[in-house]
């Protein structure tokens, strides 16, 4: 069996939501988890994103003010994913 390739911190940031959604394949998941064991910064980052998702999952649209909703929609409309 081939060894999983090592991931860097930038790759962890790009993959974090796929990881938390369980959408990564097994070798990539293992490589990401191995990286987090050796990198306290990425471990903390992934946990922060996990907590953010848990908290925001409890917010419904009616809970947001019109200004907050508009600001969030504007931010997502202008977001550009970096070229890979």
3-state DSSP of 16-66: HHHHHCCCCCHHHHHHHHHHHHHCHHHHHHHHHHHHHHHHHCCCCHHHCCH
Instruction: With respect to residue 17, please indicate whether it lies within any of the assigned structural domains.
Output: yes
Instruction: With respect to residue 69, please indicate whether it lies within any of the assigned structural domains.
Output: yes
* Predicted local distance difference test score (pLDDT) of residue 1: 41
Please state, for a pLDDT cut of 90, what percent of the chain lies above it.
Answer: 50
Instruction: With respect to residue 4, please indicate whether it lies within any of the assigned structural domains.
Output: no
For the entire predicted model, the pTM comes to: 0.64
Number of domains the chain is built from: 1
Instruction: With respect to residue 60, please indicate whether it lies within any of the assigned structural domains.
Output: yes
The answer, yes or no, to whether residue 18 has pLDDT greater than 90, is yes
| Residue count of the chain | 84
- Show the domain range for 30: 9-78
Instruction: With respect to residue 83, please indicate whether it lies within any of the assigned structural domains.
Output: no
| pLDDT tens, residue by residue, 32-60 | 999 999 999 999 999 999 998 888 776 66
* Predicted local distance difference test score (pLDDT) of residue 2: 46
Instruction: With respect to residue 84, please indicate whether it lies within any of the assigned structural domains.
Output: no
Instruction: Using the structure block, give the residue that is written with the tokens 């999952």.
Output: 57
Q: Decide which of 21 and 75 is more confident.
A: 21
Instruction: With respect to residue 25, please indicate whether it lies within any of the assigned structural domains.
Output: yes
């Amino acid at each position: 069996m081939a060894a999983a390739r090592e991931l860097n911190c930038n790759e962890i940031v790009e993959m974090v939501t796929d990881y938390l959604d369980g959408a990564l394949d097994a070798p990539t998941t293992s490589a990401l988890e191995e990286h987090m064991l050796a990198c306290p910064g990425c471990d903390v980052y992934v946990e922060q994103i996990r907590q953010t998702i848990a908290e925001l999952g409890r917010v419904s649209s009616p809970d947001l003010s019109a200004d907050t909703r508009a600001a969030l929609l504007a931010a997502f409309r202008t977001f550009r994913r970096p070229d890979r």
